[in-house]
């Protein structure tokens, strides 16, 4: 089978297309999947450029969707022909976090979805949302589940509350859609007026261009008449956390879900203490979170937003370069 692998020490020029033996028939607790689609996440980029070191020859990509071709003798939840979606932490079935590494995460600790076929334990898959294409289903695992856990589990989000989302990447767009379906008001930021227009069409109630309004945290605070927002999804880390703290209300919640702005920085603790802010890291979610999210997507008929550009898996390095450019909106899909 065809597979896209990473050679040490990493870098987009170290991504290679190779031929690997196709995996065999599934054991009793396994399923065999013909992979059809994946999508890019910031964690995948970190692996690809060598920031998150992996074994030489690791098959890339943490998200994936495909058709079940065969099931093991113990499998009752899946059948040939089902469209299934991989999960990020198959060992974390439900409840509070207990994992802090990617030892069992596809595309990192184990081989990922940038390949034609996969035979793996069934516990690492859920059914795809009803009516989804493989391309749509391939966006659920990381962006969808992260947004869900940040808002609905860590929040927990209540109707009538206010959510601030940053940018137009996969997590932020999923969070916008989930928040609107849950009855929340959404403030969206972006550096592009064109992207803000699209966010408005998706339901954003208030828009802030952070290029023209670099103090966007104050702008969000002013728009809420000084009360502040209930929930902020912070994707920038050091580059955005100060403004997120300004924007959030007293006793509010900041979900720290990304480090697009760097891995370290200074933080003033006075407003954190004064506002009694709850800041919580959100590293994707568990298996049950994915099941709950899929039920919510089906109930509210939410479809993921896919970027206008789609890449073949052989174009993986080009797709990562496009991701780095920041020109995309929503999820960048790979056809496999």
CB atoms within 10 A of CB 166: 28
Give the pLDDT confidence of 276-327 residue by residue, as tens digits. 999 999 999 999 999 999 999 999 999 999 999 999 999 999 999 999 999 9
Model pLDDT for residues 100-155, shown as the tens digit of each residue:
999 999 999 999 999 999 999 999 999 999 999 999 999 999 999 999 999 999 99
267 confidence band (pLDDT: 50, 70, 90): confident
pLDDT bracket for residue 82 (50, 70, 90):
very high
Q: Which of 57, 68, 66, 72 is nearest to 110 (CA)?
A: 57
What is the three-class DSSP state of 65? strand
Q: Looking at the predicted structure, is the pLDDT value of residue 259 above 90? A: no
Q: Which two tokens stand for residue 315?
A: 């174009």
**Cα separation of 163 and 253, whole Å?**
10
For residue 264, pLDDT over 90 is answered with no
Walk me through the domains of the chain, giving residue ranges and CATH numbers: 2-142+285-335 (3.90.180.10), 155-281 (3.40.50.720)
Q: What is the pLDDT of residues 165-211, one digit of tens each?
A: 999 999 999 999 999 999 999 999 999 999 999 999 999 999 999 99
Nearest to 80 by CA among 112, 122, 39: 122
């Amino acid at each position: 089978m065809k597979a896209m692998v990473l050679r040490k020490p990493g870098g987009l020029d170290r991504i290679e297309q190779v031929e690997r033996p196709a995996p065999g028939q599934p054991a009793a607790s396994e399923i065999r999947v013909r992979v059809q689609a994946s999508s890019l996440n910031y964690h995948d980029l970190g692996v690809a450029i060598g920031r998150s070191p992996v074994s030489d020859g690791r098959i890339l990509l943490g998200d994936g969707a495909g058709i079940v071709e065969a099931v093991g003798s113990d499998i009752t939840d899946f059948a040939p022909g089902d469209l299934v979606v991989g999960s990020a932490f198959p060992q974390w079935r439900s409840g509070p976090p207990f994992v802090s590494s990617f030892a069992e995460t596809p595309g990192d600790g184990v081989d990922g979805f940038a390949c034609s076929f996969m035979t793996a334990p069934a516990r690492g898959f859920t059914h795809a949302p009803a009516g989804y294409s493989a391309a749509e289903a391939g966006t659920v695992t990381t962006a969808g589940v992260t947004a869900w856990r940040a808002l609905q589990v860590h929040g927990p989000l209540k109707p009538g509350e206010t959510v601030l989302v940053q940018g137009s990447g996969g997590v932020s767009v999923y969070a916008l859609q989930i928040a609107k379906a849950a009855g929340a008001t959404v403030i969206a930021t972006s550096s592009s007026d064109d992207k803000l227009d699209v966010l408005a069409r998706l339901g954003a109630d208030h828009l802030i261009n952070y290029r023209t309004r670099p103090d966007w945290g104050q702008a969000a605070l002013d728009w809420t008449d000084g009360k502040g927002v209930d929930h902020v999804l912070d994707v920038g880390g050091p580059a955005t956390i100060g403004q997120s703290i300004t924007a959030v209300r007293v006793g509010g919640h900041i979900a720290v879900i990304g480090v697009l702005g760097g891995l370290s920085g200074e933080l003033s603790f006075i407003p954190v203490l004064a506002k009694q802010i709850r800041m919580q890291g959100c590293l994707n979610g568990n298996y049950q979170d994915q099941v709950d999210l899929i039920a919510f997507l089906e109930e509210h008929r939410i479809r993921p937003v896919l970027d206008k550009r789609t890449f073949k898996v052989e174009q993986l390095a080009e797709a990562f370069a496009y991701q780095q450019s920041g020109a995309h909106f929503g999820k960048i899909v790979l056809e496999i």
